[in-house]
Amino acid sequence: MRDGRIAAVGARSKVEALPEAGPAEKLDVEGRVILPGFVDSHTHLIHAASRAEEYELKIAGASYEEIANKGGGILNSVKKLRAATAAALKARASAALREFAAYGTTTIEAKSGYGLDVTSELKILGLHQELDREQPLDIVSTFLGAHVVPAEYRHTPGGPQRYVGLLVNRLIPEVAERKLAEFCDVFCDRGAFSLAQSEQVLEAGASHGLAPRVHAEQLSRTGATQLGVGLGAASCDHLEQVKTADIRALAKSKTVATLLPGCDFHLGLKEYAPARALIDAGAIVGLATDYNPGTSPTLSMPMVLSLACTQLRMTPAEAITAATVNAAYSLRREKEIGAIETGKLADLGVFEVEDYREIPYYFGVNKCWMTIKKGEIVYRRGAR
Ligand code: NIG
Ligand code: FE
């Protein structure tokens, strides 16, 4: 590694014979397994608090939508975020980022979407920028003003459409102008945004240079996948409810199918996304945590790999590919990260296992021993 990048890769004999190997400092990982650092391509990093109070309701049988309809769900987190100071939000996110690193993650995507008004959304996106500058992991920012319609726009006729207008005419232009995000996302679903509204938001984003990503076919099948593919979306995420035609559209496209099995696990749902059908059809499959307080309160990519293997029937190799190089592609960073290749950033996870398959095999256990970001050690087991 040199200047934060991978200078050479290969067998010990070959690398040690290079002239620049002589003065190089040696880091002995003693036979452990090294992977490209995980690229977590779907997180809702900035939120004020957990929703542990809803967890028991879910266990007792209330559905995600029933809880949301009673003012819980995303709106519960919006209320908490609006009341929180930027300093408190930042402290919580900073702690989370240290934990991401402890599980071998070196880049995360982060979505706004718990503010849902001009001030709060800009506050979240500003924090993405600050945190990206001030701590080692890279943060790729996504504007998700279209998470749900905020309470104050819900109960007047035409309210939801006025909120879409605020996103399209005010927030998206400002976010793009101030370079606060690279992507624009929409939660297209029952109880969130319709297909037509989603199209408006994504097109506005794209026309301002924010590439589309979509929360698609999570709770119900809306057609969001084919909308996303049609707009050249970088990623369609969730996909539990996709139909054969959606799978075919993804397979023919360069849009990554990002699967989030942590959601189904946390919500106790039996229907996971059809990963095998997607892979076998030729779609580019990614995996991410969807770290958020409502559907997936985990930041462990190794746990997501375990779920991908046992629940989505992906092989460990497919799951690791989905969590690294394919995820990097969905963030338009495939030239920089996601693989151990000469010239790429020196972003690595080192695992205390003898065989890479043991990373998902030991589920719920953190085998990450060291994490390296741009050539610097950012996590070491046992170190404080
Ligand atoms: O990715 N589906 C929409 N958004 C999140 C859930 C957010 C929440 O419940 O707070 C998701 O699952
Ligand atoms: Fe999400």
| pLDDT tens digits, 75-111 | 999 999 999 999 999 999 999 999 999 999 999 999 9
Question: What would the two tokens of residue 258 be?
Answer: 């990002």
| pLDDT tens digits, 203-236 | 999 999 999 999 999 999 999 999 999 999 999 9
| pLDDT tens digits, 259-276 | 999 999 999 999 999 999
- Beta carbons of 9 and 382 less than 8 angstroms apart: no
Decide: pTM greater than 0.85. yes
Q: How far is the CA of 346 from the centre of ligand 2 (A)?
A: 28
| pLDDT tens digits, 110-158 | 999 999 999 999 999 999 999 999 999 999 999 999 999 999 999 999 9
Nearest CA to ligand 1 atom 5: 295
Q: What percent of the chain has pLDDT over 70?
A: 100
Mutate to test the pocket of ligand 1, among 292, 298, 299 (most ligand atoms within 8 A of CB): 292
Sign of the CA dihedral running 140, 90, 205, 241: positive
**Is the CB of 264 inside a 6 Å radius of any atom of ligand 1?**
no
Ligand nearest to the CA of 40: 2
Structure confidence at residue 384 as a pLDDT band (50, 70, 90)? low
Mutate to test the pocket of ligand 1, among 54, 186, 187, 238 (most ligand atoms within 8 A of CB): 187
Measured CA to CA, the distance from residue 115 to residue 46 in angstroms comes to: 10
The C-alpha torsion from 214 through 294 and 164 to 224, rounded to 10°, is 30
Cβ atoms within 10 A of the Cβ of 350, count?
24
For 11-45, the DSSP string reads: -HHHHHTSGGGTTSPP---TT-EEEEPEEE--B--
Q: Which ligand 1 atom minimizes the distance to the CA of 148?
A: 3
Measured CA to CA, the distance from residue 319 to residue 289 in angstroms comes to: 13
- Beta carbons of 255 and 237 less than 8 angstroms apart: no
Residue 146 bridge partners (DSSP)? 186
| pLDDT tens digits, 38-64 | 999 999 999 999 999 999 999 999 999
The residue-averaged pLDDT of 294-302 equals: 98
